[in-house]
């Protein structure tokens, strides 16, 4: 069964660009719906239970929900609050 990933930052960490309420709704409602519906599809199609998320993204039955879960998980990992880390000179420009 797939689970909603925990964020590594608070919902308000991206303000003023994205407000806390928008982040909370998007994470706990929108993304959670993809996870719940994907798990329901897997429960009703047991032949899918051992498939990876990537494999489920290619399956006609599950691709929309699997893709939504995959894309949102990627989004949460790649967006985040500003850090003190410097951009390596190789990619700075």
Q: What is the pLDDT of residue 86?
A: 64
Q: Are 20 and 12 in contact (CB under 8 A)?
A: yes
DSSP, residue by residue, 18-74: S-HHHHHHIIIIIIHHHHHHHHHHHHH-GGGTT--HHHHHTSTTTHHHHHHHHHHHH
Instruction: Enumerate the domain spans of the chain.
Output: 50-77
pTM, to two decimals: 0.83
Whether 93 shows a pLDDT value over 60: the answer reads: no
pLDDT tens-place string over residues 59-71? 999 999 999 999 9
Mean pLDDT for 8-29 is 95
> From CA 53, how far away is CA 76, in angstroms rounded?
16
Q: What is the pLDDT of residue 66?
A: 97
Q: What is the mean pLDDT of the chain?
A: 91
């Amino acid at each position: 069964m797939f689970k909603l990933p925990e964020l590594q930052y608070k919902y308000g960490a991206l303000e003023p660009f994205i407000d806390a309420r928008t982040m909370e709704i998007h994470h706990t409602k929108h993304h959670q719906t993809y996870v719940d519906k994907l798990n329901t599809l897997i429960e009703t199609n047991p032949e899918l239970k051992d498939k990876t998320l990537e494999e489920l993204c290619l399956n006609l039955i599950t691709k929309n929900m699997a893709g939504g879960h995959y894309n949102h998980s990627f989004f949460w990992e790649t967006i985040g609050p500003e850090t003190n880390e410097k951009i390596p000179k190789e990619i700075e420009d």
